[in-house]
Structure 1
Amino acid sequence: MPGPILNVAVLGCGEVAQCVHLPTLLFQSDRYKAVALCDISQQSLRHCGSRFHIPEASQFADLAFMLESSLSIDLVVILTADQYHAEQVIQCADAGTHVLIEKPMAQTFPEAEAIEEARKRNGVVIFVGYMRRFAPALALLKADIEGKQIRYVRVRDIIGKNPFFTSQAGMFLKYFHDFPPGASAELAKRKRANAEEVLARRGLTRQDEESWVHLGCLGSHDLSAMRDVLGMPRKCSFASRSGEESPKWWSAIFDYGDFNALYEMAIDNVAIFDAHIEIYTDDSRVKVQYDTPFVKGLPIKLTIQKNLENGAFSEQVIRPTYIDPYTIEYGKLYEAIVNGNAYKTTPSDAQNDLMLSNMIMEALVE
């Protein structure tokens, strides 16, 4: 039997809203209906309102005004700058709405703890958007390696800049910069304060500040998926970064006791999306390969390499589905809200990525 349609407000009308979340909500019209938008850019509001048929009366420049309006809102999807996430999640939870928060959930450990407290206090779903963890290929990888002795792991996310892909996604993305006076300065202030809170003992540098943001943004995708497959490591044995004030290249080695996991992350100027997890066991190599989320329908594949009993080499490529992880993620979110189903990307789970980022910063070799 069909369930209720959830009324959704989207907070932040930028790149990922236009290319991913608003279209995905539209495609799942039997479960969700976007009823409100909120952004500090009036041009972004008008553009998304026109594209996704949300009237001007349901477009807001302030989150508090939207939550206090007469609109019935079941879920708020938060797609704003990372530095505002915790404050906005708590504000929505205290208003009694469920929340889908794009990663990273929080920038500091006290923020993460406050979000979990807000979830418990209000009895709402706070669902962290780690869409890669919902790819069926990742579940197949975990099933294939179960019970096997892992010898080595490679976790890689070396990708071209987003506009290489968004410009060809057919989503008619537009960027706007009509921000209120002081908005950029306030964002920079928050970035600095968050990094100081976590990394003050290092003698914080501008490079450290940018590193913390980078690890939380792109890095949390890989670190979260790595945890899903392997659990938490014992420690980060080595970490190195290259770049000037805003480092773009990372290498780290995580110690899992019986094996090491090599982590590589970078953003470059080549239009290739090379994001994968590869597991080396005694008798196989198993790899899940992700593609850009900005182009819908690109399959997430699993490759299994091994020797057959007759000595021949075998390479099997499995494409479980063309359904993208964001669509699957929204299905899991719906089940959590409507049916009370358990979900794995909880606020408590997301705190582990702060721990991993902190491990990397502590292990840095300059």
Structure 2
Amino acid sequence: MSATKKLRVGIIGAGEVFQICHGPCLLLMPHLFTLQSIFDISPTNTKHCADKFNIPHQATSPEEVLGNPNVDLVMILTSDDSHAPLAVAAIKAGKFVMIEKPMTLSIPSAQSIIDAEEQAGGSRVFIGYMRRYAPSFLQAFKREVASIPRLLYGRVRDFSGPNANFTSQSGTFAIKPDDFPPGSNAERDQRFEALYAETFPGQAITDAHRNYCRFLGGLGSHDFSLMRETLGMPEKVIGVSVNHPFYSSIMSFRNKDGSPYSVTYESGIDEVPVFDAHLALYGETKRVTIKYDSPYVKGLPITVEVDEVNEHGEVQHRQVLSSYEDTYTAELQEIHECFVKGKSIKTTPKDALEDITLYDMMYKVWAAGKNE
């Protein structure tokens, strides 16, 4: 039996998502991946992670990672503002690319990644929507939803609580140094402002715009991406509520028979350390809900709950767990399948663009409401 080809990985951005989620998973998968190079804007963080995760090359710039001949796959785990330029540069350097969600925040920025990938021949970029690779989503949830002949209602909820509570108890001992180069914070802010200007053309950018954009790109992208894979894009956004740090909307969909139904989105961040995230769908005699827990604590179960009327007219409750395997492990195995074995990528840049298009629908409803 021939040995499985290992993907040689370069990391750009070594914050909490790398230290708590991707890094430990990559270390536990040496049969599929080897960590070769790492760069973080904090030199202290670069050295810390290189030592901790046995990475031989400590880069002093992103360009060093991109130019490293021992790197096949570049994982972009930086702040949202730099995803697109780094992705385009990585594609041009001939690398496979994984971009942690959100891919980016504006439609023009997303299009720059799509164009670069197409110019490189396609199938180079994987967007890290890890919830969509959860075994319980792909198996139990989809199977149960498929048996509902006509949906009547849906709910998307994500009250994630304070991240610090989960990250501090993850057992990974992540660090957050702040020895950034002079001027780097101002450069980051300039990139964000350029994205906001593209997202809200012709509008004066306020903190409300910034918060809404960052919230939907950050926490919201998990939820809407999962919703889209299950239901497709909504026909219309009927209304939105913007009260930072809580946001909601109601969207209209249609079943295959043309009958309408609505889906409510509700999300926010409070200081209660309870992770309450789910996608729930309602039929006439069956309700199906998939429940997610914090991704920062490895192995917390992702369960599917079913409430239905059985053939005897009785109420029946079932809980289904397809696997304890965490979403980052499942996602990384999928990345290997795509870039080594040629499997089609599900979470492509074009797919991720639909999230940003949906946000744009929400922004326009918000703007119209403000002008009434």
Report TM bin, short chain: over 0.9
Name segments (4+ residues, structure 1) moved above 4 Å. Answer: none
Counterpart residue number, 1:190: 191
CA contact (8 A) 1:158 1:273 kept: yes
In the aligned structure 2, how far is the partner of 1:188 from the partner of 1:225? 29
Counterpart residue number, 1:239: 240
Please state how far the C-alpha of 1:202 moved relative to its aligned partner.
4.1
Please give the residue correspondences for 1:151-166 in structure 2 after superposition, counting only pairs within 5 Å: 151-166=152-167
CA contact (8 A) 2:65 2:71 kept: no
Counterpart residue number, 2:112: 114
- Alpha carbon RMSD of aligned pairs, Å? 1.3
Counterpart residue number, 2:141: 141
In the aligned structure 2, how far is the partner of 1:274 from the partner of 1:201? 36
The one-letter code matched in structure 1 to 2:9 is V
In the aligned structure 2, how far is the partner of 1:39 from the partner of 1:61? 8
Counterpart residue number, 1:256: 253
Deviates more, 1:14-23 or 1:199-208: 199-208
In the aligned structure 2, how far is the partner of 1:197 from the partner of 1:92? 23
Counterpart residue number, 1:41: 42
Counterpart residue number, 1:128: 127
**Secondary structure at 2:269 match in 1:** strand
Please give the residue correspondences for 1:1-150 in structure 2 after superposition, counting only pairs within 5 Å: 1=1, 2-55=3-56, 58-69=57-68, 71-123=69-121, 124-139=123-138, 140-146=140-146, 148-150=149-151
**Secondary structure at 2:247 match in 1:** strand
In the aligned structure 2, how far is the partner of 1:282 from the partner of 1:138? 22
The one-letter code matched in structure 2 to 1:151 is L
Counterpart residue number, 2:257: none
Please give the residue correspondences for 1:196-215 in structure 2 after superposition, counting only pairs within 5 Å: 196-215=197-216
TM-score (norm 1): 0.95
Counterpart residue number, 1:222: 223
The one-letter code matched in structure 2 to 1:175 is K
In the aligned structure 1, how far is the partner of 2:246 from the partner of 2:188? 24
**Secondary structure at 2:239 match in 1:** strand
In the aligned structure 2, how far is the partner of 1:336 from the partner of 1:85? 21
Counterpart residue number, 1:347: 349
In the aligned structure 1, how far is the partner of 2:6 from the partner of 2:328? 18
Q: Return 5+ residue gaps in structure 2 as ranges.
A: 255-259
Q: Deviations over 1:182-238 (max 9, x none)?
A: 111111111111111121244432211221111111111111001011000011100
CA contact (8 A) 1:154 1:279 kept: yes
**Secondary structure at 2:160 match in 1:** strand
In the aligned structure 2, how far is the partner of 1:232 from the partner of 1:178? 42
Please state how far the C-alpha of 1:125 moved relative to its aligned partner.
2.1
Counterpart residue number, 2:308: 306
CA contact (8 A) 2:107 2:198 kept: no
Deviates more, 1:130-139 or 1:113-122: 113-122
CA contact (8 A) 1:6 1:32 kept: yes
Count of aligned pairs: 359
**Secondary structure at 1:33 match in 2:** strand
Identical aligned pairs, as a percentage?
38
CA contact (8 A) 1:250 1:264 kept: yes
Counterpart residue number, 1:278: 280
The one-letter code matched in structure 2 to 1:141 is F
Please state how far the C-alpha of 1:65 moved relative to its aligned partner.
2.3
In the aligned structure 2, how far is the partner of 1:164 from the partner of 1:208? 27
Q: Return 5+ residue gaps in structure 1 as ranges.
A: none
Say whether 1:266 aligns with 2:268. yes
The one-letter code matched in structure 1 to 2:364 is E
In the aligned structure 1, how far is the partner of 2:67 from the partner of 2:350? 28
CA contact (8 A) 2:109 2:195 kept: no
Please state how far the C-alpha of 1:157 moved relative to its aligned partner.
0.6
Please state how far the C-alpha of 1:53 moved relative to its aligned partner.
1.2
